[in-house]
Amino acid sequence: MSQAEHILELARHRHVLRAADVRERGWSPQWLIRLHQSGKLQRIARGLYGLPDAEVTEHQTLIEVCQRVPRGVLCLLSALQFHGIGTQMPHDVWIALPAGSQAPAAGYPTLRIVRLRGTAYSDGIQTVVDHGAPIRVYCAAKTVTDCFKFRHKIGLDVALEALKDAWRSRKVTMAELRRFARINRVERVMQPYLEAIAQ
């Protein structure tokens, strides 16, 4: 098989290709441009390519964001939606980045970025593979405690709904909630609500 054929085969499995995906296999990223010019690949966003007839997955936008922003982690409203917690339907994609990192170039979809330090950024990350592409998202318990941490951005009502729904649907445990509340420094804020749901 030629490099072009290998790349098209990879595109069938990965849905979204970056130059780095091609380069790490020892192939020339120039083939992405050539295959795009010949109509065999379509340019999804800057630096992202896929097959023109590829089925659109439920998480297509999230896959594209995670490819475009390698250090980004889905958080807050986007993570709630991913985990099926609450009723939020965000128009933007919410991602967390390490404090001090550079913001990604603007593009579609619109990104809402929060900055986190240390374990508040690194703990609780899950990597879910969808159509061969990784989606980085905070686990349900981390997401709920993040909602309390950023309650001034998203609203206390959203945080309370997330807590009640995640607890009722057994997507979180009290031990997980307490652990991430400590990491996010919202133990005192959450304490009365945790006592209420535990009764």
Tell me, yes or no, whether 55 lies in a domain.
no
Same structural domain, 90 and 153? yes
Q: Chain-wide mean pLDDT for the chain?
A: 88
* Contacts for 50 with CB less than 8 Å, ≥ 6 apart: 11, 15, 16, 17, 41, 42, 44
Indicate whether 56 pLDDT > 60: no
pTM, entire model: 0.74
The tokens of 19 are what? 């130059």
- Over the stretch 145-161, which tens digit does the pLDDT of each residue have? 999 999 999 999 999 99
- Over the stretch 174-198, which tens digit does the pLDDT of each residue have? 999 999 999 999 999 999 999 999 8
Tell me, yes or no, whether 75 lies in a domain.
yes
Tell me, yes or no, whether 70 lies in a domain.
yes
167 vs 39, 78, 126, 154, CA distance in Å?
A: 49, 18, 19, 19
Tell me the residue range of the domain where 116 lies.
60-198
- Over the stretch 119-130, which tens digit does the pLDDT of each residue have? 999 999 999 987
Tell me, yes or no, whether 87 lies in a domain.
yes
Same structural domain, 124 and 194? yes
How many domains is the chain partitioned into structurally? Answer: 2
The confidence score (pLDDT) of residue 91 equals 86
**Tokens 């970056």 label which residue?**
18
- Over the stretch 6-26, which tens digit does the pLDDT of each residue have? 888 888 877 777 787 888 888
